[in-house]
Chains A and B, each alone.
Chain A
Amino acid sequence: MQNKVVCVPDSPPRPASREGSPTPAVQAENLRRRFGDLEALAGVSVEIRRGEFFSLLGPSGCGKTTLLRIIAGLERPDGGRLLLGGRDAAEIPAHQRPVNTVFQSYALFPHLRVRDNVAFGLRMKRVPAGEITGRVARIMELTQITPFADRLPAQLSGGQKQRVALARALVNEPDVLLLDEPLGALDLKLRQQLQIELRQLQRRLGITFIFVTHDQEEALVMSDRIAVMNAGLIAQMDTVEALYEQPRTRFAAQFLGSCNLIAGRVERVRAAGHGRDLEVMTELGPLQVVAAANRRMLAVGDSITLAIRPEKIGLLAATAAPGPNQIEARVEQFNYGGPVSHYRVRVGGESLSVRVHNFGETYRVSQADGAVRVEFPPAALLVLED
């Protein structure tokens, strides 16, 4: 099924085959773009592999959409270089790039029926009419819009428009599909469903997807790799897992998921097999930390920031037997949340967020007076770089 869609004999030859090619789909080198006083891109370098689901994640105004538009050819960079499949993109005008876009507003042509919207790209490239009919029918089947083929965009719901926009882009069999917050306008249920569908479609077609979003959960669910952007720069670029488990900066730690930050001072450093064991004096008290070996050098006396995810903090009854890295705390707030309950606990002068999964009775650990003990597993405490 998917082979029929991807490999059409008449399609123009590509510079390199999609799979197993060492040439990245997109290479950006130090891209810069300025709009008046606003520096939308302040030198962005990124390499996106073929067949990858790559997300650009960041708050609005961080430059993610500008980067997407430069890749699409809708915007020109002020400086830097962009390669598409190894070719310098400066030589390729927008309408000749092997790249298609799903626009945030969908930008469906209001005067054309769904079928003609989808066929638009192929018609512009003067693909023979018989081939167009077949390819349009197949992609409409794949994106489940065949029942609306004869409607005008004004007669479609948000989710249907989204699928049409997707079909209209995919029917051209681009090397890279750009998606600019395509799910932003939809309600939560539909968004979650389409997230899964988009991901499956991407796997099936093997096309490189570059997905722009400000929704961290969306990025987590869908992506192979994520570039977290802030103020025109890439704050951190990594696999989803590495980004969540090992954020390097405050921004990355707090934008993707939530994170408790704890200020401290290094008291002792000891090299260990897996990295370095640290003893850090914090406002909560002394904490043992295992720092990854590939992180910055640390010396005694350095001021550092520790980060720990709310679900990695252990919450124990005050009566439990004491252990290392445990500190007395008091519950400030408790919100029962079904599968995951949410606590705010006060430890020393700090207020920390703790998430507890609901198995057995453990979601309810505090005594009547709110006294608990929190535990910080040494490997879950991360040393941030800023």
Chain B
Amino acid sequence: MKQPNLILRLIATVLYLFLYAPLAVVIVYSFNTARFGAGWHGFTTQWYATLWANDQALAATKNTLIVGVASTVIATLVGTLLGYGLNRFQFPGQRWFQWFLYVPVFLPDIVLAVALLLFYTLAQKCFGGLERGLLTLILAHVTFQIPFVAIVVRSRLVGLDPALEEAAGDLGANAWQTFRWVTLPLIFPGVLAGAMLAFTLSLDDFVVSFFTSGPGSTTLPILIYSSVKRGITPDINALSTLIVLASVTGTLLITWLQRSRKTT
């Protein structure tokens, strides 16, 4: 392997600083004694204790997890089936269906958010019952998660030898058995990646959540946003630090899972 020269190393260092310095600041300041201002007044973990006693923050965390898990499960199921169907069957208008799968990915969140708000308001007027709350939030998240899951799963299916499914059929497996015992295990890394992507998207979504949540269904991003309006406080830094920690742990876990899957 070639050793990078000095200039390349310098560029790389600056790049990583650019990426991680802001995060480092948040983490450092979550341990700062000072309640206001940028000065460093000493080390403390009191903000984490404050956070633990903050009912609003706990409720928002709970909401975020409920919405994240529920929407990810639904979107992964539906998105996987969609990706499978688009890849494995031929039907009129297939190309259009595939093309329309990409549109929500490129659509600005704010457009989708306004559209969903309008749609849920109308639906509530016509049918009643669709109060803005956790349910609308979950449905809204599923809406933007599905294309991502379907695209990831489909790309995995493209690389799959069609002879494997033929072999399963040849050995007596019906369509469901073929999917369950051959296709699904082979595309599972793709399904898992799609689910992780969907979950991450749900966790940090602000725009769509802001428009489609109700009073009782505040999520972490919305909570942070409304707190920051009153000034950045150390407990928000503490909360952000915890979220960073959770993300890093999650990423490591997935990497480890995939590696252990490969070596066995």
Which A residues have a C-beta under 8 Å from some C-beta of B?
72-74, 94-96, 99-101, 103-105, 107-111, 120-121, 123-125, 168-169, 172
Q: What is the CB-to-nearest-CB distance from A107 to chain B, in angstroms, rounded to a whole number?
A: 4
Q: Is the CB of A100 within 8 A of B170?
A: yes
For the complex, give the distance between the alpha carbons of A110 and B183 in Å: 11
For the complex, give the distance between the alpha carbons of A94 and B175 in Å: 11
Taking a contact as CB atoms closer than 8 A, the residue among B161, B166, B171 that contacts A124 in the complex is B171
A121 cross-chain contacts in B, Cβ below 8 A: 171-172
For the complex, give the distance between the alpha carbons of A124 and B174 in Å: 8
Q: Please, which residue of chain A has its CB at the minimum distance from the CB of B173? A: A124
For the complex, give the distance between the alpha carbons of A111 and B160 in Å: 12
Q: Is the CB of A95 within 8 A of B161?
A: no
Which B residues have a C-beta under 8 Å from some C-beta of A?
161, 163-164, 166-174, 177, 181-182, 185-186
Taking a contact as CB atoms closer than 8 A, the residue among B163, B170, B182, B185 that contacts A95 in the complex is B170
Taking a contact as CB atoms closer than 8 A, the residue among B171, B181, B182 that contacts A172 in the complex is B171
3 A-B pairs with the lowest CB-CB distances in the bound complex, closest first: A121-B171, A107-B167, A107-B163
B186 cross-chain contacts in A, Cβ below 8 A: 109-111
**How many Cβ-Cβ contacts under 8 Å join chain A to chain B?**
63
For the complex, give the distance between the alpha carbons of A248 and B129 in Å: 81
Q: Please, which residue of chain B has its CB at the minimum distance from the CB of A165? A: B167
B173 cross-chain contacts in A, Cβ below 8 A: 95, 120, 124
A73 cross-chain contacts in B, Cβ below 8 A: 169-170
Q: Please, which residue of chain B has its CB at the minimum distance from the CB of A105? A: B163
Q: What is the CB-to-nearest-CB distance from A183 to chain B, in angstroms, rounded to a whole number?
A: 17
For the complex, give the distance between the alpha carbons of A40 and B177 in Å: 31
For the complex, give the distance between the alpha carbons of A108 and B166 in Å: 11
A104 cross-chain contacts in B, Cβ below 8 A: 163
Q: What is the CB-to-nearest-CB distance from B174 to chain A, in angstroms, rounded to a whole number?
A: 6
A100 cross-chain contacts in B, Cβ below 8 A: 170-171
Q: Is the CB of B166 within 8 A of A120?
A: no
Q: Is the CB of B161 within 8 A of A120?
A: no
Q: Is the CB of B170 within 8 A of A109?
A: no
Q: Is the CB of B167 within 8 A of A96?
A: no
Q: Please, which residue of chain B has its CB at the minimum distance from the CB of A100? A: B170
Beyond A96-B172, A124-B174, A124-B181, 13 additional pairs, beta carbon < 8 A: A74-B166, A74-B169, A94-B166, A94-B170, A95-B169, A100-B171, A103-B167, A109-B167, A120-B173, A121-B172, A124-B168, A124-B177, A169-B170
B170 cross-chain contacts in A, Cβ below 8 A: 72-74, 94-95, 99-101, 169
Q: Is the CB of B172 within 8 A of A103?
A: no
Given contacts A109-B182, A110-B186, A111-B186, contact A120 B171 (CB under 8 A): yes
Between A and B, 30 residue pairs with Cβ closer than 8 Å are A72-B170, A94-B166, A94-B170, A95-B171, A96-B172, A99-B170, A101-B166, A103-B167, A104-B163, A105-B161, A105-B163, A107-B161, A107-B164, A107-B166, A109-B164, A109-B182, A109-B186, A110-B186, A111-B186, A120-B168, A121-B171, A121-B172, A123-B181, A124-B172, A124-B174, A124-B177, A125-B172, A169-B170, A172-B171, A172-B172
Q: What is the CB-to-nearest-CB distance from B51 to chain A, in angstroms, rounded to a whole number?
A: 43
A168 cross-chain contacts in B, Cβ below 8 A: 171
Q: Is the CB of B171 within 8 A of A103?
A: no
Q: Is the CB of B169 within 8 A of A94?
A: yes
B171 cross-chain contacts in A, Cβ below 8 A: 95, 100, 120-121, 124, 168-169, 172
Q: Is the CB of A103 within 8 A of B185?
A: no
A125 cross-chain contacts in B, Cβ below 8 A: 172
For the complex, give the distance between the alpha carbons of A125 and B173 in Å: 7
Q: What is the CB-to-nearest-CB distance from B47 to chain A, in angstroms, rounded to a whole number?
A: 47
Q: Is the CB of A103 within 8 A of B163?
A: yes
Residue of B161, B164, B172 with most partner-chain A CB within 10 A: B172
B163 cross-chain contacts in A, Cβ below 8 A: 103-105, 107
A101 cross-chain contacts in B, Cβ below 8 A: 166-167, 170
